[in-house]
Amino acid sequence: MKRYLPLLFVVFVVSVTAAIFLVFRDSAAPETRSVEIETPPEAASTPPEATITQAGDDALPLFEIETDEEYEAMLAALGTSTEEIEAWARTRGFPPRTYTSVRGEPLERQYRTMSAERLLELAENGDVWAMQFLAANVGPEMPLVAVEWYRKAVVHGSAYAAYKLGYFYREVARWMVINDDEREDVLEIARREQPLAYSALAWLMIAEYEAGLPPGAMSAALTSFQARDEGIDAACERAATLLGEIRTQREIDGVELAPRKPPLAIGLPPEHIAGYCPADVFPRTDYSGCAAVRLAGELGTATAYRCR
């Protein structure tokens, strides 16, 4: 299965195979992208043991991820589990495989069937899930409102909202090119974000950073959208500006977040990423104190980090 093949992240997460062994799928709201997580099967009863070495050591343990059992063995060797990964993912706005409340109620159905007024009420009271559902629902008809709610969700700690916003900008670009969409809201977004390709990539970089993932975990899928060196440089600068705005707004709103680093983060092999942001332009997550293993598969050899 080569589950480590990561073009996107998360437990969350979205459009191809995720960096953290999660799968993002298209869903509900028309013209928008949503995600559903595919949880790996139950762990093998007696997973093989492995020695964990600190990141940076040349002799990292190597895992061949071909089966579910080997995937679970890798998680066990790193001292984590699919349950821990999914629980952390929800704190960053990523939908779990099954939306349920502590009473077993289907939360997804609740949010999807809520009136716009009820969603708005919850969103205005800081409910990140409501913000995201509201943005997805109004996106096709009121794109500027959708952008506002996605950004608010990012301020409140949702890396998933940043991911969604990146792809929403790509969708707006498609509306303009394919559908000759000249609605006022669409033209205003294009004017603010020109070129849209840079903003789309910048928001995926924000999503990676907010989720504690290595460069390319989410943005690799869009680098071909504008892969010229100057395009990546411009996207990095835009991402840095956006991150500054997000941090400022968090201070204003008094938003305090838990540590960013996920239980598991997987980096794509460098040859599969068109470009990185220079560290002095846009920050990267520091994995120097994390346990690590190497993963071998069709994309080459990647590194998985376990941070505590």
Q: Which tokens belong to 34?
A: 């949503």
How far, in Å, CA of 7 to CA of 19, rounded? 6
Structure tokens at 268: 């794509």
| Percent with pLDDT over 90 in the chain | 23
In the block, tokens 């349950």 appear at 83
**Amino acid identity, residue 19?**
A
Is residue 216 pLDDT above 80, yes or no? no
pLDDT in tens, 92-149: 888 765 555 555 555 667 788 888 899 999 999 999 989 999 999 988 899 999 999 9
Would you kindly state where each structural domain of the chain is located, as residue ranges? 82-286
| pLDDT recorded at residue 156 | 95
> DSSP labels for the chain?
--TT--SB--SS--SSBBTTS-B----SSTT-------PPPPPPSSPPP---EETT-S---EEE--SHHHHHHHHHHHT--HHHHHHHHHHTTPPPSS-B-TT--BHHHHHHHS-HHHHHHHHHTT-HHHHHHHHHHHTTT-HHHHHHHHHHHHHTT-HHHHHHHHHHHHHHHHHHHHS----HHHHHHHHHHSSHHHHHHHHHHHHHHHTTPPTTTTGGGGGGGS-SHHHHHHHHHHHHHHHHHHHHHHHHHT--------S-EEEPPGGG-S----TTTS-----TTSEEEEEEETTEEEEEEE--
64-84 tens-digit pLDDT? 888 888 888 888 888 888 888
User: Distance (Å, rounded) from C-alpha 167 to C-alpha 225?
Assistant: 11
Which residue has tokens 């939306």?
A: 99
Select the highest-mean-pLDDT range: 6-15, 136-145, 278-287, 298-307: 136-145
Q: Which residue has the higher pLDDT, 115 or 220?
A: 115
pLDDT band at 40 (very low <50, low <70, confident <90, very high): very low
pLDDT for 214 beyond 90: no
Residue 222: alpha-carbon gap to chain centroid: 13
Burial 161-199 (b: 16+ CB within 10 A, else e): bbbbbbbbbbbbbebbeeeebeeebbeebbeebeebbbb
Cα 64 to Cα 127, 175, 234, 300: the distances in Å are 40, 42, 37, 11
pTM for the structure as a whole: 0.76
Structure confidence at residue 2 as a pLDDT band (50, 70, 90): very low
Question: In this predicted structure, what is the pLDDT of residue 105?
Answer: 56
Residue 1 · residue 67 · CB < 8 Å: yes
Q: Which pLDDT belongs to residue 301?
A: 79
User: How many angstroms separate the CA atoms of 306 and 247, rounded?
Assistant: 26
Mean pLDDT of 259-272: 74
Bridge partner list, 112? none
Spatial distance between the Cα atoms of 109 and 97, rounded to a whole number of angstroms? 13
